[in-house]
Structure 1
Amino acid sequence: MNCTTAYAQWRKDNTGWWYSEGNSWSTGWRLINNNWYFFESNGYMKTGWLLDNGIWYYLHSSGEMASDTVLIDGKYSTFDSSGKWTGYLNTTNNTSSSNTLLSKAEFSSIVCDKMHELVNNHRKSNGIKELNIDKNLDQSAYLKSKHLIDNNYFAHNYSGQSFSDLVYSLSGQKINGENIAQNYLTESSYTRSSAQDLANRLFNSWKESSGHNQNMLRESFSSFGFGFEIASNGYVYATQHFRIN
């Protein structure tokens, strides 16, 4: 399993997502933003069940490999840390699926999907065209959030670099707007309800701030990405990136 190069990019067409690497594309397993993905021989990102070298894996709809307990077609399947399917979880309790324990990758996927939905619903309710969700901007937003934690600061610009120059140096992406926020986890475990709660709290903090809300509603923006990282103290650093195409 090999890691991707620094300036590889997500791309999408009518068939699906792929990950470009220079003049070619990724195939097989690739580690991207600390999540494993699998790309078919034609380059397209795999989702659902995967049998590889006699081992079953499961790829979420967003492409990330499962590595914990996942509810699939009404059954709880368990996976070890390497992604290997280890069987079904025997359970007779009636615990709500909203409180089912999730892996960090599953938690992150739900937060991101919810944020994409909230922003575009906000635009629709204000009569503004929806934004295209761009995985490259999801990636750049994640890298900016991680940079905030790794370098112990909270600002758009850093060490004499503008936010746009910094993001380009981190991800190779050109952006025209950025929102950042700090928040915190309200639970010690990852669940669907806590993921949706985090997305709502982050979104509302931006919506209630005039400048941040203007970015989310700016008509000239056409593409959007969101990412976040969690610091060791439980604080969440989150970023929205916007681009004019």
Structure 2
Amino acid sequence: MNILEMKNVTKQFGGLTAVGNVSIQVEKGSIFGLIGPNGAGKTTIFNLITGIYKVSEGEIIFQDQRIDQFQPYQIADMGITRTFQNIRLFKKLTAYENILTACHYNANYNILDAVIRTHRFKKEEKMLHDHAEELMEIMELKDRKDIVSSNLPYGLQRRLEIARALALNPKLLLLDEPAAGMNPDETIKLMELIRQIREQFKLTVVVIEHHMDLIMGVCDKIAVLNFGRKLAEGTAQEIQENPKVIEAYLGEEEVNC
């Protein structure tokens, strides 16, 4: 069963075609990779899925419902969350406050409950704080709980951004270059973490990444983009052996050697 489908999706900016006639199917519960050279259209696809950009042509379907004309907040309400290529944390808040702020998106009390501190308010607040603590534990951030997010090491800021996305209880998690700036050991740990959160939270994950070790090691299926068009799709082994993919990454001269 597919949780996400892109059907012949095109996105044009004036005379520039950033994404051209791309079709992708993401199976529920899978980890799906998007790779390609810089400027291939990968982040544009994330922006189309999350409603930041509107499609020029084609359809995007999430859980059997067309979403390509929805607003970003409506798409988030349906269960799609993301991280960004350039980290977008609340820099002056602590690690814990960053996560708790996102947890409050799911609060089920009203302003009156909060003002007079009703039983429902207290119960909900405890649940939200417990969820934030759980995410801190999973992301190995508990000992950095009270550190302002901008003072965290880069790799931990990446983990914090993932934790904040998980706080919204998504069904589909989009990770835009989560290993950017990480060393090899951190990348291996991240690969294990992506598998863990997929299993623990019953998620589907789509990953954009330039670290081939991570993509090849964690993804069930991979799509390759080049100049805004889908070049190939398949398992890690199929992608590694595909002559068109090798040419796109290495150039024709190397392929013919």
With the shorter chain as reference, the TM-score category is under 0.3
Q: Which protein, 1 or 2, shows the higher relative CO under an 8 Å CA cutoff with sep ≥ 6?
A: 2
Instruction: Please identify which structure carries the higher helix content.
Output: 2
Instruction: Please identify which structure carries the higher strand content.
Output: 1
Q: Structure 2-normalised TM-score?
A: 0.27
Bigger Rg over Cα? 2
